[in-house]
């Protein structure tokens, strides 16, 4: 779906669809009966609307948020990477397969990619950088920033203007 098609889809949402999305952003496990109560629909029409939003791709899926610190992953870092362009496909394939890379975004500017990396402690993170990430295809250099705390995460889409 192109950006123009996405904009058309979002403009086609009516007030009820927007209320559904707002409720589901707050609690994605809400039952259809409870959701219907919040938005003024019975269970079946509510289910139909949610199903249609999913078919249109507005609702891209559901997931469980896990606290990484409860799994012993106490270090979160943003790693800015410069990659030799002739290796970008091999680099991206290696990043996709890498278990410690939480996310990867291709970016503009001084760096080519920004990675979100999780590790158990600073020694494990250092080892990951020196022995693993630095050896990935095409990596020329990187710069890291350790996150000290999360200020905002997963802001709601339905409140954006």
Q: How do residues 43-102 score in pLDDT, each as one tens digit?
A: 999 999 999 999 999 999 888 889 999 999 999 999 999 999 999 999 999 999 999 999
Cα 93 to Cα 70: distance, rounded to the nearest angstrom = 28
pLDDT at 131 > cutoff 70? yes
Residues 6+ apart with CB under 8 A from 102: 76, 115, 116, 117, 118
Cα 10 to Cα 138: distance, rounded to the nearest angstrom = 39
CA 61 → CA 55, 87, 88, 130, distances in Å?
11, 32, 28, 36
| pTM of this structure | 0.78
């Amino acid at each position: 779906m192109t950006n123009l098609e996405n904009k058309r889809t979002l403009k086609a949402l009516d007030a009820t669809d927007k209320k559904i999305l707002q409720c589901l952003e707050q609690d994605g496990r809400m039952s259809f009966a409870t959701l219907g109560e919040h938005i003024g629909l019975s269970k079946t029409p509510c289910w139909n609307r949610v199903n249609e939003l999913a078919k249109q791709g507005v609702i891209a899926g559901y997931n469980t948020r896990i606290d990484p610190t409860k799994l012993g992953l106490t270090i979160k870092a943003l790693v800015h990477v410069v990659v030799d362009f002739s290796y970008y496909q091999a680099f991206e394939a290696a990043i996709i397969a890498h278990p410690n890379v939480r996310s990867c975004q291709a970016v503009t500017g001084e760096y080519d990619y920004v990675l979100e990396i999780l590790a158990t402690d600073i020694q494990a993170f250092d080892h990951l950088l020196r022995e693993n990430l630095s050896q990935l295809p095409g990596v020329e250099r990187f710069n890291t920033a350790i996150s000290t705390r999360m200020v905002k995460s997963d802001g709601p889409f339905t409140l954006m203007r």
